[in-house]
Chain A
Amino acid sequence: MKALLLSVIAVLTLAISPLSLAQASAQSSGGSEPLNVGMSGRYFPFTFVEKDQLKGFEVDVMNAIAEELGREVNYHTAAFSGLFGMLESGRVDTVANQITITEDRQKKYVFTQPYVYDGAQVVTKKGNDEVSNVEDLKGKTVAVNLGSNFEALLRDLPYADQIDIRTYESNLEQDTALGRVDAFVMDRISASQIIKEKPLPLELAGPTFSTIRNAYPFPDTEEGRALRDDVDAAIDALREKGTLKKISESWFGTDITRP
């Protein structure tokens, strides 16, 4: 019995020590005021992980912005459905996850200028000739990311009631490739990139059907607006220096940071 108790205590101390260490280090770094940025880490090629390394267009752009501001960045990765909660509860300063400016979001947040211009794109399994544009989605099942603006875009279509919209937390590309849904809707840039570089049998179906402008959201508070203005100025500076264009071309081969 005594041995059992001792082992429980040992396990407990082991369990607590890394936790308290993590907390202590989080507190001690508070002096330099790093920028806290939320992202999903699951949106290739904007934010993704390869061999434990956080990478992507969003990471490169945010690093450049932070350098411009002379601040450190702390990245907080969470499931997409948790990201706005983190912003809302003040755990992150902004979200860098291709957040599209929408009317609803503008009621709650203040946005910087757009740093990515893109379009909504229908993607199908390779060889699916039934869907070649957005009108063909009538009577079909379509996957979108939960809480994304693509869900709202689909629901705003005049024939939305004829579309079976399925919301996904992740892996909708895989479900489309498996044939469980007829199509998914995403931004054109990442869809093209996935098709080009990844082993899933997918293809773009027709032209983009809506223009989207992506920017950084900040809480609509005095502090949030001040930080928004700083980041906005940093984006201006990076545009002027050609840094944005350079980062975009390194990931996509074209400049997506201009309309």
Chain B
Amino acid sequence: MQVLDITYMLELVPILLQYLPLTLEMATLGMVLALVLAGLLAVVRVLKIPVINHFTILFISFFRGTPLLVQLFLFYYGLPQIFSSLTAIDGITATVMGLTMHFSAYMAESIRAAIVGVDRSQTEAALSIGMTNAQLMRRIVLPQATRIAVPTLMNYFIDMIKATSLAFTLGVTELMGATQKEAAGSFLYFEAFIVAAVMYWIVVELLSWLQRFLEIRLNRAYSR
């Protein structure tokens, strides 16, 4: 039985920690952009805006129906063969773009469900007291939809953080890429991957904590 090389693991912590910000940056940027895109897609779907609605359905179908890795390879290695100017896109940008489109397809459906999930009677009540559609959305529907959507959206964010580990195939050395290279140099697989696992785990645990805080905050009006 081989004993864990603790010294090596401790040495690895500060090295791998340097790559954590890039992982978080790609995920955070991807999340913010995906939220915006998903919001737009959801609104198109809820209001069934003609023509655009069909494109939206196609978009969601494609990005939900194909693996993220396939999409990343398609953008990064495939498209530049046809449009050579796309070579200017670097790996980080391509990863963020891929994450944005892939996850916005999922998130659009969950935001749509949250909007539809707000009881119709509230819409009718708001309209009856003379609120405009914009007021109705801003004051009545969206605050409640947000509350419904937060847990699932947080899940997607957590998923997105872990999905950044695919970026090494596009030449971006993030946390997982750095770990793989260190493991390939030392052949101490267990040590290297457990350090990476604990790092991802701690980040996700912090986010779960943030999620609980958000949920309590958003539920305040309902729990008394």
Contact = CB atoms under 8 A, between A and B. Distances in A.
A89 B82 CA distance: 9
Which applies to chain B's interface (DSSP): helix, strand, loop or mixed? helix
A18 B22 CA distance: 9
B77 A52 contact: no
Interface residues of A, number: 43
Given A19-B92, A77-B181, A170-B180, A86 B80 contact: no
A32 B188 CA distance: 39
Contacts of A11: 28, 32
B81 interface: yes
B185 interface: yes
Contacts of A51: 11, 15, 182
Contact of A199 (B77, B177, B185, B187): B187
B186 interface: yes
Most chain A CB neighbours (cut-off 10 Å) among B15, B91, B181, B186: B181
A91 interface: yes
* Interface residue range, chain B: 35 or more
Interface in B128-158: none
Contacts of A26: 90
Given A19-B92, A174-B189, A82 B170 contact: yes
B187 A173 contact: yes
Contacts of B15: 51-52
Interface stretch (A36-44, A104-112, A120-128): A36-44
B76 interface: yes
A82 B77 contact: yes
B178 interface: yes
6 contacts: A19-B29, A22-B92, A49-B181, A78-B91, A78-B172, A89-B77
Interface of A: 8, 11-12, 14-16, 18-19, 22-23, 26, 38, 40-44, 48-52, 55, 76-79, 81-82, 85-86, 88-91, 170-171, 173-174, 194, 198-200
Closest 7 CB pairs of A and B: A85-B77, A78-B171, A42-B184, A49-B181, A48-B185, A89-B80, A198-B187
